A = this chain, B = another copy of it.
Amino acid sequence: MDETISLVLFSGTDDKLMAAATLAAGGAAMGKPVHILLQYWALDAFRKDRTGVDHGLSPEAGEKGRAAFKAAARAGQASWADTLRAARELGEIDIQACSQSMAVLKLEQSDLDPLVDGVQGIAAFFINAGSGQIVFI
């Protein structure tokens, strides 16, 4: 199962980033090359010294959802950033910042966490994605 999976990460809330990290880690563990493109609020969450802070949850999570999410973290569930770091040991994961979003948010690569491998335009994204799966989160 070596077809690539390409994830476009748009949302920067901890619940969506956790869903994304789970898919990335699962795909990498199955031997699929994983390409990640960071846009807008997901890109903002990958700023240096920001991956560990609380980015909130989707509005629909509600109070009960927030409590469940925090209890899981206290019980030892790895964060989305740590899940991605560990997944790098399991397989092939490439994380690129979208050049257009970098311009909108006025960021340089030196502003980003070392998890981010580089900055990429949309053409390079499509070349790497080929005819593989593309998932927008």
Contact residues of A between 109 and 137, Cβ < 8 Å to B: 121-123, 125-127, 129-137
Copies of this chain assembled into the complex: 3
> Of all chain B residues, which has the CB nearest A65?
B41
29 contacts between A and B (CB under 8 A): A3-B131, A8-B23, A10-B19, A10-B137, A11-B58, A11-B60, A13-B60, A15-B40, A15-B41, A19-B40, A22-B39, A22-B98, A22-B122, A26-B122, A26-B123, A27-B126, A30-B123, A30-B126, A32-B126, A40-B61, A41-B58, A55-B60, A59-B59, A65-B105, A68-B106, A69-B104, A77-B103, A77-B104, A133-B134
Count of chain A residues with a beta carbon within 8 Å of a chain B beta carbon: 55
